């Protein structure tokens, strides 16, 4: 008996490590997502001054990449289905690298925007393909945690880039003379922001190269009729032959019962409700304000909270650190507590953080309480709407429509990301905000959306932890109408 168990345990450990290694490589897409988002937050303090941008132009410079993300996500639906998840990710790695190089050499706003859009195309493709790929190779009982590694990589990217921009921007300016700070600021305006953007080249090129060493998704191989290749991949990521054959049979049965379908099939029956859930979760992830805080965090610290530009870069490190810590909490609770409890707890915390931040700005009492409120918001998002939305998007769609449905949901996410990013400077700098709300209006609006999100999750979002991707199809078949969604939460 002892001799028989040891190989099984060793085999199980080996296969788990294989899945983890593959996941880490693919999750680098998330690191680049976070890095690309964070680098614009620090660099825009300086290129806005370098190019003498108006608030509208500033919003366009920051948000332009997001419209590239929108089209990248839409294209990823076709690409992940036709050339596969793996090659879609490789293409995104190339676009990341091109964008990082080109953005740093830009000598005009149009040039900067073009290269940011190229990078956005890569982010959009990767943001859909990476969670999908990870979900398709992960064991059902660990899928929430494995897909959450993607979000962990996002926040690691944020933290790394905040460190990078902080040190590239001159590091700790405490104790420096006014003249030295002025010289440092001039350097950052003329050259520093370029180095910040170029710093993305190292992770981008590494991601591109490492992807050549991961396998294709077994579910994509089955969709393409390459069953023997799919079985070989499953043998490397499952504990034994029996588990591989069982999963292969589940995929075969799912595909035989439901032939691969296009966008039109999403507009009727249970699929319409599932698409509605995915799109609305994506929209709520954005309109609750996370990327306004992350993109313009340095500016918020510099203007609303009274920090100088270089010192504001240091305050961003707090955002990155809290984001990182609470993402770890989400990873180790999402498969224990479930998706829905985390979403409800997190959105409540987001609402409280934004409300307190708005009140401190409205009453002119900015200070440590304002900073703590921002950190409560960031931590609550990292616990909930950050990782959990990506987990649910990767698991709620059936095999036959996963590519096209997820591309629609992720495209909606990037569309509203772009809307929030481009309108925030306009609303924040408006006379109405200044005269009627003392600068607090955007934060009250975001807090209101948090309440709407809580109601949506409470009423309509089902619990999906522990179910296989194939079992998820049956869940939504049984609960095909919005009124039945509560039945799926048990």
pLDDT by residue (tens digit) across 184-213?
888 888 998 999 999 999 999 999 999 999
What's residue 6's pLDDT? Answer: 45
Burial of 239 (0-12, 13-18, 19+ CB in 10 A): middle
The closest alpha carbon to 76, from 24, 120, 44, 111, belongs to: 120
Distances (CA, A) of 417 to 68, 214, 277, 378: 11, 30, 18, 16
Distance, C-alpha 375 to centroid of its chain: 18
Least confident span in 68-72, 251-255, 457-461: 251-255
Nearest C-alpha neighbor of 222 from the set 261, 256, 264: 256
Q: Could you report the per-residue pLDDT of 73-98, keeping only the tens digit for each?
A: 888 888 988 899 999 999 999 999 99
Q: Does 370 score more than 90 pLDDT?
A: no
* Domain assignment of residue 23, yes or no: yes
Residue 170 lies in a domain: yes
Whether residue 224 lies inside any domain: the answer is: no
- The pLDDT of residue 297 is 65
Residue 105: which pLDDT band, with cuts at 50, 70 and 90? very high
Q: What is the pLDDT of residues 405-416, one digit of tens each?
A: 888 888 888 889
Q: Which parts of 384-440 fold into alpha helices (H)?
A: 387-395, 402-428, 431-437
Residue 125 — very low, low, confident or very high, per pLDDT cuts 50/70/90? very high
* 426-439 pLDDT per residue, tens: 888 889 988 999 88
Q: How far apart are CA 365 and CA 274, in angstroms?
A: 44
Whether residue 232 is contained in a domain is answered as: no
Helix, coil or strand: residue 173: coil
261 pLDDT higher than 60: no
For residue 253, how many other CB atoms are within 10 A of its CB?
A: 11
Residue 22 lies in domain: 2-214+258-489
Name the nearest CA neighbour of 88 among 97, 103, 72, 76: 76
pLDDT tens column, 343-360: 999 999 999 999 999 999
The residue ranking higher by pLDDT, 453 or 463, is 453
103 pLDDT higher than 70: yes
Q: How far is CA 239 from CA 16, 25, 148, 229, 448, in A?
A: 8, 21, 22, 17, 47
Q: What are 319-342's pLDDT values in tens digits?
A: 778 888 888 888 888 777 888 899
In a domain, 240, yes or no: no
Give the count of domains, the chain.
1
Percentage above 90 pLDDT, the chain: 27
For the chain, give the mean pLDDT: 82
The residue assigned the tokens 């306004």 is 292
- CATH code (residue 103): 1.20.1250.20
Residues 6+ apart with CB under 8 A from 59: 421, 422, 423, 424, 425, 426
């Amino acid at each position: 008996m002892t001799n028989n168990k040891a190989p099984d345990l060793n085999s199980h450990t080996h296969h788990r490590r294989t899945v983890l290694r593959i996941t880490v490589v693919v999750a680098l897409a998330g690191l680049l997502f976070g890095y690309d988002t964070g680098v614009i937050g620090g660099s825009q303090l300086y290129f806005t001054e370098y190019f003498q941008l108006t608030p509208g132009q500033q919003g366009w410079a920051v948000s332009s990449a997001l419209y590239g993300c929108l089209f990248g996500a839409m294209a990823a639906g076709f690409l992940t289905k036709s050339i596969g998840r793996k090659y879609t990710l490789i293409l995104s790695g190339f676009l990341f690298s091109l964008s990082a190089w080109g953005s740093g050499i830009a000598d005009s706003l149009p040039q900067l925007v073009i290269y940011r859009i190229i990078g956005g195309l890569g982010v959009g493709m990767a943001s859909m393909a990476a969670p999908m790929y990870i979900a398709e190779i992960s064991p059902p009982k660990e899928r929430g945690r494995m897909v959450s590694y993607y979000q962990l990589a996002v926040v690691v990217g944020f933290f790394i880039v905040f460190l990078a921009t902080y040190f590239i921007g001159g590091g700790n300016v405490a104790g420096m003379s006014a003249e030295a700070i002025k010289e440092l600021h001039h350097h950052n305006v003329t050259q520093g922001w370029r180095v910040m953007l170029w710093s993305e080249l190292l992770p981008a090129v590494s991601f591109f190269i490492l992807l050549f060493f991961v396998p294709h998704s077994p579910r994509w191989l089955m969709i393409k009729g390459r069953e023997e290749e799919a079985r070989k991949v499953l043998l490397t990521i499952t504990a034994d032959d029996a588990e591989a054959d069982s999963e292969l049979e589940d995929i075969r049965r799912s595909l035989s019962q439901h032939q691969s379908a296009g966008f039109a099939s999403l507009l009727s029956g249970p699929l319409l409700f599932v698409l509605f859930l995915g799109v609305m979760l994506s929209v709520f992830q954005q309109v609750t304000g996370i990327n306004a805080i992350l993109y313009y965090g340095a500016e918020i610290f510099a203007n609303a909270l009274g920090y100088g530009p270089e010192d504001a870069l240091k305050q961003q490190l707090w955002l990155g650190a809290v984001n990182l810590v609470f993402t770890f909490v989400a990873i180790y609770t999402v498969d224990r507590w479930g998706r829905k409890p985390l979403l409800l707890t997190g959105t409540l915390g987001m609402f409280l953080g934004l409300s307190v931040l708005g009140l401190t700005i409205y009453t002119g009492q900015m200070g440590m309480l304002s900073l703590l409120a921002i950190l409560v918001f960031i931590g609550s998002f990292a616990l909930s709407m950050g990782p959990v939305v990506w987990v649910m998007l990767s698991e709620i769609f059936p095999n036959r429509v996963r590519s096209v449905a997820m591309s629609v949901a992720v495209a909606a996410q990037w569309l509203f990301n772009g809307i929030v990013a481009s309108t925030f400077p306009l609303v924040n700098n408006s006379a109405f905000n200044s005269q009627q709300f003392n600068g607090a209006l955007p934060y009250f609006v975001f807090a209101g959306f948090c309440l709407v999100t809580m109601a949506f999750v409470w009423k309509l979002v089902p619990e999906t932890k522990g179910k296989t991707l194939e079992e998820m199809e049956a869940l939504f078949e049984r609960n095909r109408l919005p009124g039945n969604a509560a039945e799926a939460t048990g």
